[in-house]
Amino acid sequence: MKFRRVDSAQTPERELPEMLTQTLNQLGGHALVLANGEIPIFMTSSVDQLGVLKDGKIQSPELLALVRVVRRNNTKQVGVIEIPRGPIGEGRHELTVTVIPLTEGDLVLVLLSDESEAQRIDDIRRDFVANISHELKTPIGALSLLSEAVLGAKDEPISVVKFATRMQSEAKRLTDLVQEIINLSRVQDSDPLQLAQEVGVEYVVREAIDQCQISADNRNIVVTYPESTTAIVLGDRHQLIMAIHNLIENAINYSPEATKVSVSTSLTESIIDIAVSDQGIGISESEQDRIFERFYRVDPARSRQTGGTGLGLSIVKHVAAKHGGEVTVWSVENVGSTFSLRLPIYEASIESPQ
């Protein structure tokens, strides 16, 4: 019997039957075949994005244990394992694993599926719908009352202008809220590491700054990013721009006029840190653990003035986790805040710290 090998200088050349490889490639899931010593000799292309293997070795002790039970008993085993999405952060792949013996004492087939992820998304949706219905009531109720006020004041032009202006403000707030709900829903439902692109960090930072320039100019705030970096991350370019945009927009909205918002990047042990610092009102220590919750607002009155939806930081948290990273915050009241989006660097782009 011939076998086809996975590319590795240390793996002997073996070739699997073509019928088996075609079948595995058509399954639409993740599959790999292990030879003695847990050496991968075949895997579907999607396995690379899961982080199950590193340098040709299985990284999950739970998966190794399942494979050894199958080798010992020559019987199929099913289990659930967790694989970190990256070297930092809380993001996890929760995988259902089926391990099947192909040849006694030698080849083992490993099938991995994200069934638990689908259940998690359903749970999030149910919780999200409950939150949305509460949040939508406020601007919709306000529009209803204002429309009645306009009708009641139809013979008073000054009052009509006043109420119509308020209606425009509430309509914009409602539009922004719906758009943020759509953005968060897309982030929660997607997996940017499945169809990952190589994304330049400097590009997404400068694009996010450009998107915030009008908001900054309106409040006479200078946004600076004096550095440059060649670092590359893997993921979804649009999601990363959106996350950094939200951090910068947040910094602008919660800073006094005529102050400065600074963006910086630094590289430490293959992790890029994109930091956004402001000279704003700051966040109390007791609230710093809650600011990434959906619809949570540190200053509800300020959020109403700026049109904040309470979803921006929640989107940042989900984007970070989906990309195998994390978002952290340092803040002191009446001094300012620094939010850091930390992401694993694509290995081919690792550079020396500047």
pLDDT tens for 299-319 read 554 445 544 567 889 889 989
State the average pLDDT for the chain: 81
CB 50 within 8 A of CB 112: yes
Q: Which residues of 244-267 are buried (b: 16+ CB within 10 A; e: fewer)?
A: bbbbbbbbbbbbeeebebbbbbbb
Which pLDDT does position 223 carry in this prediction? Answer: 95
Per-residue pLDDT at 353: 43
**What single letter denotes the amino acid at residue 94?**
E
Per-residue pLDDT band for 105 (boundaries 50, 70, 90) equals: confident
For the beta carbon of residue 154, count every other beta carbon within 10 angstroms.
Answer: 9
| Structural domains in the chain, sorted by start | 18-113 (3.30.450.20), 115-189 (1.10.287.130), 192-354 (3.30.565.10)
Tokens of 289: 């653990």
Q: Is the pLDDT of residue 134 over 60?
A: no
Average pLDDT estimate for 237-263: 93
305 sits in which H/E element: helix 300-306
Q: What's the whole-number mean pLDDT along residues 70-87?
A: 86
What is the per-residue pLDDT for 334?
A: 85
pLDDT of residue 7: 47
Mean pLDDT along residues 56-76:
88
User: H/E element holding 341?
Assistant: strand 336-344
Give the DSSP letter of residue 5: P
